[in-house]
Amino acid sequence: MLSCSVIIIAYNSCDFIPACLKSVRDACEGIDSQIIVLDNGSNEPIIPEIKNFFPEVEWIDSKENLGFGKGCNLAEKHATKPYLFFINPDTIISKNAFREMLQFMGEHPDAGTVGCRILNEDGTLQWACRRSFPTIVSAVSKTIGLAALFPKSKTLASYNMTYADPDEMIEVDAVSGSFFCIRRDVYEKLNGFDEDFFMYGEDLDLCFRTKKMGLHNYYTPVTNILHFKGQSCRTRRWGSYVDFYKAMLIFVKKHKDLYFVPNFLVSFGILFAAFVGMFSRLIPKFWKMFLDLGVVAIWAFFILCYEAGMVSTSDNVVIHNGFDDWILAVLVVVLNLVFLMFRGEYTVSSLKGEKFLRYLIPLNLLIVGGYSAFRYFTQSPVVIDSSAYLPYDSHWMTLAVCSSLFIPFALLAWRRVAFWINYFYRIFAKKRHRSILLGGREDSLNNWFDSYNVIPGIEILGCVSSEPEKLSEENRKHLLGPLSDMESICNRTGCRELLVVSNFSGYREEFNINWLDKLGMCVYLLIGNGKNGNFALVNLKYLR
């Protein structure tokens, strides 16, 4: 009989783990299975309602974040089955995933680890599901973009093996830690994951040690899983980024026999890649940064022009040090952009601005006030006609404070204008999808009806339910009708997309996907809560 232990290490995964566990439960039908979930010191622990929906799960709680490898080793001590599956909580497993992988392991006794085809939520392949060990050439070509320019080159594109057909089984150096299978006796002989790796790199290291044992690592396309990459790292963006490059340094130091150049040169290359990657991580949405730069530059130009013609209250011209004004203008421009950069404003395409507005106002008042106070106490007054005027008089201070308040509202204003231009463009160009939610009997759906694009490019018309009489009063205002009337609702609204909202049990309501197919409906699973863009939209046809 097929038998396996499924291990999931969860970190701040309340929104995503219910759908994951439902897919795992479905995939475990007919298999002697054990499911272990370690809540790894989450700031937002897995709530009791979720645990109650999955009583078959062995729940382990850690008071601190142990890291991925150490967490896996702790959870594995509770495993009793001959095969282990390590799965990320931000994944959805196909119904045949465990069965196909276990059969593959049985047919290949030389297999150490086995990974399958891993897809993004839109069905595209995540190339990291099969990799080579990093070499000097592969790392450099990937960092500077040569791997993307020459994806079929076995030399330049070796790291992600883009030259290999994803529909063919192949032996690889390493598989992805987001979903793979390993024999428990092999895992224990290797002493599990190396706990020196906090996050990232531990899967690469385990695969390397597996090969040194004389076993093989395989990639097989016999089944698919879906992975919403990076969901567990959203709450520690920079911590996870540092962890990644620390892991690379640990790997290079531990397996220096892979490289034929001095270790410090390889380490230098990793640090260079980290430096290059930092900017692509900070500002992938360059267009937003350039527009913000234009707004604050206009402010700086206005201040300097006004200052050049400033007149004191006694009609005596007060001569200021223009260099000082440039210092303040540059300070405001740089500090505003740096603040927005590190707040993650340039990593998302969202046109919301409320989240930074309440921070920029006090920031700019602090910059202007602090700088003015500094100049007040360090510069001597200007003497004209036996009267003393401080270099920054009340006129200048009033203008500086008002204009520093102008910056946040100007940044918010262009976002509002851009949103409405984009909104009407999508409507008139028919590029805005019309969708309907399935659900509403339990939690509030108001998050999904946000007017400022919680789901970019989608207009949510309302909700349907198999039991509309059980809808809450708050959700009833969004109700279009019962699920059984879906055909007439589609004809009336022209909608051809149904979004199945995930909840504590995985799906908010059950549905018949074959019947919806016949209606010409495209069915997606909507996972997350919609706050700050924290959601995933999954085409369910990849889960069959």
Burial 484-495 (b: 16+ CB within 10 A, else e): eebeebbeeeeb
Helical (H) or strand (E) element with 146: helix 146-149
The CA-based angle 40-42-43, given to 5 degrees, is: 160
- pLDDT of amino acid 369: 77
Q: Residue 466 is encoded by which pair of tokens? A: 């198999």
134: pLDDT strictly greater than 80: no
Element (DSSP H or E) covering residue 59: strand 58-62
Alpha-carbon dihedral angle through residues 454, 455, 459, 464, given to the nearest 10 degrees: -90
Please state, in angstroms and rounded to a whole number, the distance separating the CA atoms of residues 118 and 121.
Answer: 10
Residues near 290 by Cβ (< 8 Å), separated by ≥ 6?
none
Q: What is the pLDDT of residue 238?
A: 60
**pLDDT the model gives residue 476:** 84
What is the pLDDT of the chain when averaged over all its residues?
A: 80
Here the tokens at position 394 are 């009340």
The Cβ of residue 38 has, within 10 Å, a number of other Cβ atoms equal to: 23
Domains of the chain, each with CATH number or no CATH: 3-232 (3.90.550.10), 286-425 (no CATH), 433-543 (3.40.50)
Q: Are strands 130-131 and 174-175 parallel, antiparallel or unpaired?
A: antiparallel
Residue 7 pairs in a beta bridge with 36, 86
Element (H, E) at 490: helix 486-493
What does the pLDDT read at residue 388? 46
Q: Which residues contact 102 (CB under 8 A, 6 or more apart)?
A: 2, 3, 4, 31, 83, 181
Rounded mean pLDDT, 21-32: 92
- Per-residue pLDDT, averaged over 204-213, amounts to 91
Output the CA–CA distances (angstroms, integers) from residue 312 to 113, 121, 317, 388, 394, in the order listed. 78, 63, 6, 11, 9
pLDDT digits 0-9 by tens, 265-300? 666 666 666 666 666 666 677 788 888 888 888 877
Of the chain, the percentage scoring pLDDT greater than 90 comes to 23
List Cα–Cα distances, 375 to 328, 397, 491, in angstroms: 10, 12, 69
pLDDT tens digits along 465-514:
888 888 888 888 888 989 889 889 988 888 889 988 887 767 667 778 78
pLDDT in tens, 360-388: 888 888 887 777 777 667 665 544 444 44
pLDDT digits (tens, 9 = 90+) for 293-333: 888 888 777 766 765 555 444 444 444 444 456 777 777 77
Q: pTM score, two decimals?
A: 0.74
Strands 91-93 and 216-227: antiparallel
Lookup result for tokens 């392991």: 105
